[in-house]
Amino acid sequence: MSVAVVTGATDGIGKAYARQLAALGLNIVLVGRSPSKLQQVSDEISMKLPTCSVAEVPSGEHFGDIINCNIMSMARLTNLLLPAMRGKKRGLIVNIGSVAGTGFAPMRTTYGASKAFVDKFTCDLAAECRSDGIVVQSILPCYVATKLPGLSGKSSLDVPTAEAYVVASINSIGVETRTAAYWFHKILLYWTEVLYFFAPSLVQRLTTQFIGRKGMMMTTTNNSLE
């Protein structure tokens, strides 16, 4: 039976991917920082799908370095798993980037740059692996209703639930190599890249204002929790 390795599997998009892939009949290897949360997700999946085999792999200490978390761990895991996929002439790699990596991301420069690496790495790898029968996909979400600070956790027209987003992402496998998956996010990605090409100064100014408001909201939220 096929096995899916899901990183960041304790919450949000990663957890939703683990649930959906388990429901499709794949055995799941969960990777995350919190052993207790990994066990909780493992128990949830095993309870709903007793025939699914689930293993947990704690990833060690918390990464304070965004570059290590978003870049090094992805590259190392790909390097670890890709030879076996090439040997079998089949496989699927889905890397989660961000719309923040497709244009300007002021005030979260390192995050945006790291997600730009994810997108570039994934698209180039897709071209390399196509002849090996391996599907490689870059997913570029906007905001998703998760427990991210500054977000209410409530879904809306432009902020889908993690489950809804992952369903859209899975439906795009084998169809699109690079996609924002969810319909509203695809519209935002398209216009972001069009405006970035034709009016970069305008996009830079609007993005700075938008992210600045989000940053203030996140700061306010964090202070209220202290």
Alpha carbon distance 26, 37 (integer Å): 20
- Is residue 221 helix, strand or coil? helix
Report residue 203 CA to chain centroid gap. Answer: 24
Is 111 tagged catalytic? yes
Catalytic annotation, pick one of 17, 111, 182, 190: 111
Report residue 59 CA to chain centroid gap. Answer: 17
Q: How far is CA 89 from CA 85, 94, 129, 178, in A?
A: 6, 17, 9, 21
Alpha carbon distance 134, 177 (integer Å): 12
Alpha carbon distance 133, 226 (integer Å): 50
Alpha carbon distance 109, 33 (integer Å): 24
Name the residue among 177, 176, 178, 200 with its Cα closest to residue 189: 178
Q: How far is CA 49 from CA 56, 87, 165, 194, 203, in A?
A: 16, 30, 21, 44, 46
Catalytic positions are: 111
